[in-house]
Amino acid sequence: MKSLSYQPVPCVALPLPEATAQGVTVAVLREDVNHPFVSGNKWWKLKHNLEAAQRQHHHTLLTFGGPYSNHIYATAAAARELGLASIGIIRGERVLNPTLQFAQACGMRLHFISRAQYREKDQPELLSTFAHQFGDCYVVPEGGTNTLAVQGCATWGAQLWQHYQPDIIFLPVGTGGTMAGLACGLAGRAQIHGVSVLKGPDLLTAAVTQWVQRYTTNTYNNWHIHTAYAHGGYGKTTPELLALMARIKNDFALPLDRVYTAKMFSAVVDLLQRGTFPRGSRILLVHTGGLQGNGHYVS
């Protein structure tokens, strides 16, 4: 059975003036460089799914995403590396942007469905239709979030604690699977701060709680999701966010993506300025990748 390649990643100090003023230290785990294309948390979410697909003798992955999906991009690349075929069920009208062009170049077959159909993507009737249309496939949910993804992120969380033992961990949150896995792997150790990239009511707290309960019989109260830093919603941005991205890149040579990690940094800087964290705290920021998404925007 083939395994997805993984490159060891650095953990680099980030001497933010806001942190120095508060007497805390900040470091960034550069998980964005763990793989050229399957970067960040996507590597960990796909790890056990890819193993299961091969163990069950599937030759094709079928998954779901929007036209700018990091997950579609990563799954296409992972399938190519492991010699698997892949099918992407894409939400909305037919487009061919850089993400989908890359997926096609990796061999992914793209199938576009309406937004109304896409809302039914988890229903047995539509999945049965896809099975009839495409044959025997290993199905990976939208964003890669399922119990096997939580398992992969739990392994990651245990490794984070073993190597770094931070007081506080920050990560961006889109579906809740990664945060649930980290919570399980950390097993009550450290304080975990998730930064929602979604606008609107907080649905992620319930999602994380549900995934933790599915994976383990334990419950943890050492995590919290911040909902005030979405900057307009998923895939949206603001001049303030772009200015922060430019500052972090210019001052620390650290690239951020607009959809996820920049919003996490926005939360961290604001909370530091508010004096939220006790002096002496060691804060670890998890860079979850997705930098290829910046190619969709014009500066």
The rounded distance, in Å, linking the Cα atoms of 53 and 149 is 13
The rounded distance, in Å, linking the Cα atoms of 112 and 237 is 26
Helix, strand and coil percent figures for the chain, each rounded to 5: 45, 15, 35
For the chain, the farthest-separated pair of C-alpha atoms sits apart, in whole angstroms, at: 61
Print pLDDT tens along the chain (299 aa): 899 999 999 999 999 999 999 999 999 999 999 999 999 999 999 999 999 999 999 999 999 999 888 899 999 999 999 999 999 999 999 988 999 999 999 999 999 999 999 999 999 999 999 999 999 999 999 989 999 999 999 999 999 999 999 999 999 999 999 999 999 999 999 999 999 999 999 999 999 999 999 999 888 999 999 999 999 998 899 999 999 999 999 999 999 999 999 999 999 999 999 999 999 999 999 999 988 877 654 33
Q: Quick one: tokens of 102? A: 């890359």
Query: Domain 41-144: which topology?
Result: Rossmann fold (3.40.50)
Return all residues near 47 (Cβ < 8 A) that are at least 6 apart. 4, 152, 155
Task: State phi, psi for 285 to the nearest 5 degrees.
Answer: -100, 130
DSSP string, 33-59: GSSSSS-THHHHHHHHHHHHHHHTT--
The rounded distance, in Å, linking the Cα atoms of 147 and 48 is 9
The rounded distance, in Å, linking the Cα atoms of 211 and 16 is 34
Return all residues near 130 (Cβ < 8 A) that are at least 6 apart. 62, 89, 137, 139
Domain ranges for the chain: 11-36+150-296, 41-144
Identical fold for domains 11-36+150-296 and 41-144, yes or no, is: yes
Q: 288, 262 in Cβ contact below 8 A?
A: no
The rounded distance, in Å, linking the Cα atoms of 56 and 155 is 22
Q: Quick one: tokens of 47? A: 């790890």
The rounded distance, in Å, linking the Cα atoms of 196 and 233 is 9
* Correct CATH for 11-36+150-296 of 3.40.50.300, 3.50.50.60, 3.40.50.1100, 3.40.50.2000: 3.40.50.1100
Global pTM reads 0.93
Distance (Å) of CA 8 to CA 33, 103, 196, 218: 8, 25, 27, 30
- How many beta carbons lie within 10 A of that of residue 131, not counting itself? 14
